[in-house]
């Protein structure tokens, strides 16, 4: 028989399954999800992914004014792009080059847990088939050049990753923070911090230090299935480890919305992080808004505490207000200090003169 999404259902299937009898559907508001137990990679499935990315097709094979979506493949069988993404424009983020430097063509193949940018002439649903990525733990080598080297990784599992379940030890020579972008970058690269009211805006982002992720009320701190995300390397031989049982098979990984960095969510009631005071400061203008998180932890330092502090990324669009913790030589979007009193803030005004 054929199994399609059944909310909350458990079922047993003899491996290998095929794309003809296992279908993970999506719609314009959410991805379907399948949590399974196949470390050998024998689960065949048809998977749908709705993409909000679009651009202007000039009819000659070129795209302009594009909004890009940062994605990955849910499959491990290295299929050609033409098989599942006909009519799309795609680039691969090459960590060694720290950029979207590899353009994909019809015969190009895709690798699980790599990051890709995709757009098309219109918003659309991609229906794909293949053998799902293994649920075995993944240690992914990153690249380091100097300073804070940007790397991109993809969640190739057909279920969301709960960022609060990461441990600092999962990040070797890398910041223990996940940076999510909503629908990738727009054509100009403009954007600001992700907010609850602006979650449809291209290029909005959210920095989520893993040790305070559960404390970040007002946003959903998950990595959706087939979403790519940013990790910053800080020294040679960096890597990130994805533990399926801890990150996916856990309460809280329930948000299925594709490629949404921010959305309102209920605050967690428990306090396993050791945070004893917290504050979100939000400035809201007519078109744009921004916010920062401030946390107090008895064991925090006044310097950068990996897993507790997150960097601020400044926009090139000066119409956007930008609020940040001013740490002297760095700006932070998330700041954890031994005391909230005395934290110095910086603000760039943007296009408005009055904010709420």
Per-residue pLDDT of the chain (356 residues; tens, 9 = 90+): 455 554 445 555 555 677 888 889 888 877 788 888 888 888 899 999 998 888 888 777 777 778 888 899 999 988 889 889 988 999 999 999 998 889 999 899 999 999 999 988 888 999 999 999 999 999 999 999 988 899 999 999 999 999 999 999 999 999 999 998 865 544 344 444 444 333 445 556 789 999 999 998 777 788 989 999 999 999 999 999 999 999 998 755 444 454 443 333 333 344 456 787 889 998 888 888 888 999 999 989 988 999 999 988 877 778 888 899 998 888 989 999 999 998 999 999 888 888 88
Contact call for residues 295 and 278 (beta carbons, < 8 A): yes
Half-sphere exposure (Cβ direction) of 312: Cα atoms closer than 13 Å: 28
Q: What is the pTM of this model?
A: 0.84
CA dihedral 328, 331, 334, 340 (to 10 degrees): 30
Residue 3 pLDDT:
53
Asked if the bond preceding 86 is cis, omega within 30° of 0, the reply is no
Is the separation of the CB atoms in 152 and 115 below 8 Å?
yes
CA separation for the pair 161, 229 (Å, rounded): 11
**Secondary structure of the chain: what % helix, strand, coil (to 5)?**
5, 35, 60
Per-residue tokens: 143: 């690249």
d(CA 241, CA 137): 7
CA–chain centroid gap for 328, Å, is 28
CB 256 within 8 A of CB 32: yes
Round to whole Å and give the CA distance between 59 and 61: 6
Q: Which residue in the block uniquely carries the two structure tokens 């002439």?
A: 121
Distance CA 235, CA 143 (A): 9
Strand partners, 325: 332, 345
Question: What are the counts of helices (DSSP H) followed by strands (DSSP E) for the chain?
Answer: 2, 25
Residue 197: its pLDDT value, please? 37
Q: What is the pLDDT of residue 312?
A: 87
């Amino acid at each position: 028989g054929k199994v399609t999404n059944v909310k909350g259902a458990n079922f047993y299937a003899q491996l290998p399954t095929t794309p003809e009898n296992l279908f993970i559907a999506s719609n314009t508001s959410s991805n379907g999800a399948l949590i399974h137990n196949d470390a050998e990679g024998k689960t065949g499935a048809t998977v749908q992914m709705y993409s909000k990315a679009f651009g202007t097709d000039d009819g000659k094979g070129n795209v302009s004014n594009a909004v890009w979506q940062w994605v990955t493949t849910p499959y491990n069988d290295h299929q050609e792009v033409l098989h599942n993404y006909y009519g799309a424009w795609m680039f691969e983020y090459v960590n060694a080059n720290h950029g979207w430097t590899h353009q994909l063509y019809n015969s190009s193949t895709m690798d699980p847990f790599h990051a890709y940018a995709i757009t098309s002439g219109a918003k659309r649903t991609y229906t794909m088939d293949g053998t799902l990525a293994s649920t075995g733990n993944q240690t992914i080598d990153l690249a380091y050049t100097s300073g804070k080297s940007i790397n991109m990784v993809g969640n190739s599992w057909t279920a969301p990753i709960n960022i609060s379940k990461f441990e600092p030890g999962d990040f070797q020579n890398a910041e223990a923070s996940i940076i999510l972008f909503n629908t990738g970058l727009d054509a100009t690269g403009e954007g600001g911090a992700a907010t609850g009211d602006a979650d449809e805006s291209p290029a909005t982002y959210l920095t989520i230090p893993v040790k305070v992720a559960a404390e970040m009320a007002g946003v959903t701190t998950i990595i959706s299935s087939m979403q790519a995300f940013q990790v910053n390397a800080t020294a040679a031989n960096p890597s990130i480890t994805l533990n399926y049982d801890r990150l996916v098979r856990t309460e809280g990984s329930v948000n299925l919305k594709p490629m949404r960095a921010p959305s309102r969510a209920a605050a967690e009631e428990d306090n396993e992080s050791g945070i004893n005071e917290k504050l979100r400061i939000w400035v809201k203008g007519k078109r744009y808004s921004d916010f920062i998180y401030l946390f107090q932890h008895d064991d925090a330092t006044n310097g950068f505490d990996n897993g507790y502090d997150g960097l601020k990324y400044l926009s090139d669009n000066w119409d956007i207000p930008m609020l940040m913790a001013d740490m002297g030589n760095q700006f932070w979007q998330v700041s954890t200090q031994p005391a909230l009193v005395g934290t110095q803030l910086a603000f760039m005004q943007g296009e408005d003169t009055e904010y709420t």
